[in-house]
Amino acid sequence: MANATPKPPASPPLLRVQELSKYFVLSVPWLSRVFGRLSPPILRAVDGVSFEIQRGQTFALVGESGCGKSTVARVIVGLYHPTAGDIYFQGKSLEDPSVKASPESHTRMQMIFQDPYASLDPRWRVRDIIAEPIRAFHLARNRAEMGERVSELLLQVGLSASDGEKYPHEFSGGQRQRISIARALSSNPDFLVCDEPTSALDVSVQAQILNLMKELQRRLGLTYLFISHNLAVVNHISDHVGVMYLGRLCEVAPKRTLFNQPQHPYTRLLLDTIPDLDLSGRRRQPVTGEVPNPIEPPSGCAFHPRCPSVGDRCRAEKPLPKPSKDSIVACHAVEECRL
Amino acid sequence: MTALLEVDRLRIEFPTRRGILVAVDDVSFSIEEGEVLGVVGESGAGKSVTGAAVIGLLEPPGRIGRGDIRFEGRQLNGLPQEAMRRIRGAKIGAIFQDPLTSLNPIYSIGRQLTETLTTHTDLSSSQARSRAIDLLNEVGIPAAERRVDSYPHEFSGGMRQRVVIALAICVNPRLIIADEPTTALDVSIQAQIIGLLKNLCHEHRTAIMLITHDMGVIAEMSDRVAVMYAGRIAEIGPLREVVKSPKHPYTVGLMDSIPKVGQEKDQLSHIRGAMPRLQEIPPGCPFHPRCPEAFDRCQVERPDMMDTGHPRQAASCWKYARTASHG
Amino acid sequence: MGWLKRVIDHDISYSFTRSWVIMLAAFVTLFIIITSVFAPWVTIHDPFNPSSLNLMDAFTPPIWVEGGKWTYPLGTDDQGRDILSTIMFGNRISLLVGFLSVLLAMLIGVTLGTVSGYIGGWLDSLIMRLADAQLTVPPILIALLVNGVARASLMQELQESLAIYVLVFSIGIAAWPQYARVTRSGAMVERNKEYIAAAKVIGVHPGLIMVRHIVPNVMGPTMVLATIGVPLAIIIEATLSFLGVGVPPTTPSLGTLIRIGNEFLFSGEWWITIFPALALVVLVLSVNLIGDWLRDTFNPKLR
């Protein structure tokens, strides 16, 4: 697979995802299946997605509801089994039996979730929540060591060591996200998957958390896969961006390239929806249609019903990702230089 | 000329056994006919509660402790339930965040529309039905004649919100309270709904009280903006002024902490700390513990809304005490 | 003593002190429990020890009726047993069987419900169909059935000594489905929450996830069910004992006493059956009221 950047990277990517697919078979009542000969519909949540993340960088996946970005995150982290495709972490495939047997890959990869209220067990004390990975991987020799590590983590995320004794409900949304981050860091991971970590937070709190995440990345050499629907946030925090629509990647590009020279029509549509807080009164292209039902995606290119540059090929043939200038774009119009 | 809606020194309280919690404290603003007032604030600032009070849907034990709400010159708070219900259906409409729960799932949307129409106007059922179809067309529902008999669950989120808007405007209300109308929708749909609301309200000269935490939505739609913090209005003024040259330190901090495309900052500026909970609102100015410009008076005395020297822009901040008299 | 202050300050304590009915019910229950626990020391004699009985005192009426004696405030039965003492001893059995059977039902129900709700699939269907099937039969019949089968399979000598355990077992088996159902719905809600996903990402074993995360978070409604289940279990036990298939006559419960006294009801010695019956009503009513209050208190919508 061709690289997104013109010059080859100095070291192999930390994470490489290749033709990853995840299909869900939706349940149909048994009687309908037998008598009505109804075959259960297949939801193609992720359909052939490929990208790479270099060590120490932040790769953002953006898209609207039903695009599959959260599913990609969950497959990578092991919550779902991929239907097809491969995930290579530190050069080794995650399906490789030796990798599966050792818990190493689990310690190296952790996840932060969107809902600060549901991501912490309400009955556990904060110190136990943060120590759960330490316990699971036997990373501390005794309780004293574990307690020290927990205190260290609490300080690292901007809370105080005494907060370990409290329960989650005593904290605000932003503080709970900090606790989630502390938990994710407790096993010394290299790679963090962040599923919309600031979407449920107020704007000023969001700024605090994003700053914290950037600082931690710098200090600990972390690599992030950052899922979001908020393009302004993505612009702030990412190095590379992938735009998804109905389970497929439309465009992958370095951040500046994506925001300054977007190529895929859907990327352009998304960028148009970013609120104009400078009140520049910039003209917007009117947006039409809605995201179609992912169970019955349109034929060919999934975006063709809404695309202002739709052509004949678009309705019939699914576009493949091809390098185009600095980016990788899956679009017939771009390939045919119609844009 | 009196404004369409006048809220005067409104105070909303929640009596609990540990004392009275004040959710909204001494809030005053007005909305002119056809104007869009954006009420922005973070969660817990009191904006939804204010909207609920205006439309008469404040849930007990919440109650209006003090102050007046006047609509078309007539006092709303203290009106008996029946009179409030009539005004609510005919003159003041509402759009809430979740389109799924705003519509009754067991009635077709056509029926919900015609029922509202026949209750509040003298249209006959058949007239109401054709008006319903017109409305659905107006809000952009394709194939309205067919879909008028569909049920809410057969529509997508964006379409449902359009139906809710149709329900809200069907009797030509003078004022619509919209509480987070686009928060549950995808960004591309948000833009469509905002556009729709703007057009409709232009055409029908309907005023909107737009309540949201999303500054982007405010910037797209509002004529004027009120920024709320811990139950009080921190700043109020024309959109352009509040967004581009905010006067209250909270608004300044808020606007600075929003990431903007094209801005290449490594760290976002942020306001340290968090908005205080209702039980822990400090004396004096509620923002003073987090304010980079606080001085002695701020810790002790609660500031009223004051002229900032800019036309029609007021802020509740002691910084402006010297510039003019109380606004 | 900080925790004590927190308990007193808590919303639940507040709602408790607001209702005199509940406070009365709690007091009564506590009184019954204490007197039954300390029965051997509080009563004037052990009514089931034949050597402490005085046949001459048989059929003594209660104190306020002519012929009553101070030593037997509620009268005596045909063997000279003090009714008040028999009630206190009877309470012991009733409470013991009531609590233990609910404990057993909870153990079975919470385990099966958690597994069912968390794992889902065919296991869930299997367990739920079992529960559904059992719920079509009234609990008393189930207890009767299990009891009968257990007795038939036990040897004669063992029957008496194991009777209480058999009873606890049969009532527990009769009651598990409702605990399973309630736990299952809680488990189905919790399993989709992100703290469970976080534990899975860490690689925690599903069994550990269920025990450490799911169970503590679904116990709330189960506890409420249990407090209402105890009086129900007591009634079932009383019924079975009344029918003669419950506890052995050497350790009579309230049900047994009611049965014994029944024979004398129409010959004029009404107190031998009425007082145990009243005691049963008071016990069941008090615990029921507390259960109701607990359920209302824990319902967040009513708060």
The CATH number that applies at residue B310 is 3.40.50.300
C63 in a structural domain = no
Decide if A79 and C201 are in contact by the 8 Å CB cutoff: yes
CB contact set of A205 (below 8 Å; sequence gap of 6+)? A172, A173, A174, A198, B42, B274
B130 in a structural domain = no
Interface-testing mutation among C201, C205, C222, C223, with chain A (most A C-beta atoms within 10 A)? C201
CB contact set of B86 (below 8 Å; sequence gap of 6+)? B120
Give the CA distances from residue B14 to residues B18, B145, B228, in Å, rounded to whole numbers and listed in that order. Answer: 10, 46, 18
The alpha carbon of residue C199 is apart from the nearest alpha carbon of chain A, in Å, by 8
What's the domain range around B63? 1-34+45-86+223-259+270-317
d(CA C302, CA A273): 42
For the cut 60, the answer to whether the pLDDT of residue C300 exceeds it is no
d(CA B278, CA B20): 10
Decide if C199 and A115 are in contact by the 8 Å CB cutoff: no
d(CA A199, CA A191): 20
d(CA A250, CA A266): 8
What confidence score (pLDDT) does residue B325 get? 46
What confidence score (pLDDT) does residue C32 get? 86
The alpha carbon of residue B182 is apart from the nearest alpha carbon of chain A, in Å, by 13
* Tokens standing for residue A290: 């809605």
Percent of residues, chain C, with pLDDT higher than 90: 23
Q: Which residue has the higher pLDDT, B61 or C107?
A: C107
- In total, chain B counts a number of residues equal to 327
C211 in a structural domain = yes
What's the domain range around C283? 97-303
The alpha carbon of residue A171 is apart from the nearest alpha carbon of chain C, in Å, by 16
B309 in a structural domain = yes
Give the CA distances from residue C210 to residues C202, C207, C218, C288, in Å, rounded to whole numbers and listed in that order. Answer: 15, 5, 10, 30
E strands, A57-178, are 58-62, 84-89, 92-93, 109-112
CB contact set of A302 (below 8 Å; sequence gap of 6+)? A245, A246, A247, A248, A292, A318
Q: What is the mean pLDDT of residues C229-243?
A: 88
pLDDT in tens, B94-135: 898 877 778 888 999 999 999 888 888 888 888 999 999 998
Q: Which residue do the tokens 């039903």 mark?
A: A66
Q: Which residues of A touch C207 (CB under 8 A)?
A: none
B278 in a structural domain = yes
| Of residues A137, A135, A74, the one with CA closest to residue A103 | A137
C77 in a structural domain = no
| Of residues A268, A196, A274, A249, the one with CA closest to residue A1 | A249
Amino acid at B256: D
pLDDT in tens, C174-202: 899 999 999 999 999 999 999 999 999 98
* Tokens standing for residue A150: 């927990």
B112 in a structural domain = no
d(CA B178, CA B197): 10
Binned at pLDDT 50, 70 and 90, residue B274 comes out as confident
Q: What is the mean pLDDT of residues C201-217?
A: 92
Q: What is the mean pLDDT of residues B232-251?
A: 93
pLDDT in tens, A58-101: 999 999 888 899 999 999 998 999 999 999 988 888 877 777 66
Q: Which residues of A touch C189 (CB under 8 A)?
A: none
Q: Which residue has the higher pLDDT, B20 or C111?
A: C111
What confidence score (pLDDT) does residue B280 get? 86
Q: Is the peptide bond before B152 cis (omega within 30 degrees of 0)?
A: no
Q: Which residues of chain A have pLDDT under 50?
A: 1-3
B54 in a structural domain = yes
Cross-strand partners of C153: none
Interface-testing mutation among A120, A123, A166, with chain C (most C C-beta atoms within 10 A)? A123
The alpha carbon of residue C196 is apart from the nearest alpha carbon of chain A, in Å, by 8
Q: What is the CATH number of the domain that holds C187?
A: 1.10.3720.10
B294 in a structural domain = yes
Subunits next to A (3 or more Cβ pairs <8 Å) are B, C
pLDDT in tens, B85-95: 888 878 898 89
What confidence score (pLDDT) does residue C7 get? 60
Least-confidence region, from B172-186, C40-54, C71-85, C190-204: C40-54
Binned at pLDDT 50, 70 and 90, residue C302 comes out as very low
* Parallel, antiparallel or unpaired: strands A92-93 and A84-89: antiparallel
In order, the DSSP letters of C191-220 are TTSHHHHHHHHHT--HHHIIIIIIHHHHHH
What confidence score (pLDDT) does residue A6 get? 54
| Of residues B289, B209, B208, the one with CA closest to residue B249 | B289
Domain count, chain C: 1
The alpha carbon of residue B41 is apart from the nearest alpha carbon of chain A, in Å, by 9
Subunits next to B (3 or more Cβ pairs <8 Å) are A
Least-confidence region, from B48-52, B241-245, B319-323: B319-323
Asked if residues B284 and B294 have their Cβ atoms less than 8 Å apart, the reply is no
Residues in A whose CB is inside 8 Å of some CB of B read 64-65, 172, 174-175, 202-208, 210-211, 214-215, 229, 231-233, 235-236, 259, 269-279, 284, 286-287, 290-291, 293
Q: What is the mean pLDDT of residues C13-17?
A: 69
Q: What is the mean pLDDT of residues B296-314?
A: 87
- Out of A172, A259, A290, the one facing B189 most closely (by C-beta) is A290
Q: What is the mean pLDDT of chain B?
A: 88
Amino acid at B265: K
Domain count, chain B: 1
Q: Which residues of C touch A137 (CB under 8 A)?
A: 202-203
Q: Which residues of C touch A114 (CB under 8 A)?
A: 194
Decide if A232 and B260 are in contact by the 8 Å CB cutoff: yes
Q: Which residue do the tokens 């982290």 mark?
A: A77
Q: What is the pTM for the complete model shown?
A: 0.86
* Tokens standing for residue A121: 């067990």
B113 in a structural domain = no
C215 in a structural domain = yes
d(CA B28, CA B38): 14
Asked if residues C226 and C106 have their Cβ atoms less than 8 Å apart, the reply is yes
pLDDT in tens, C120-161: 989 999 999 999 999 898 888 888 888 888 878 877 767 677
| Helix B125-138 with B109-120: angle, nearest 10 deg | 120
Asked if residues C279 and C230 have their Cβ atoms less than 8 Å apart, the reply is no
Asked if residues A46 and A247 have their Cβ atoms less than 8 Å apart, the reply is yes
Angle at B208 between CA B207 and CA B213, to 5 degrees: 160
Angle at A87 between CA A85 and CA A92, to 5 degrees: 130
- Out of B215, B220, B265, the one facing A203 most closely (by C-beta) is B215
C238 in a structural domain = yes
CB contact set of B131 (below 8 Å; sequence gap of 6+)? B113, B117, B123, B170
Percent of residues, chain C, with pLDDT higher than 70: 90
d(CA A255, CA C25): 68
d(CA B43, CA B212): 9
Decide if A183 and C197 are in contact by the 8 Å CB cutoff: no
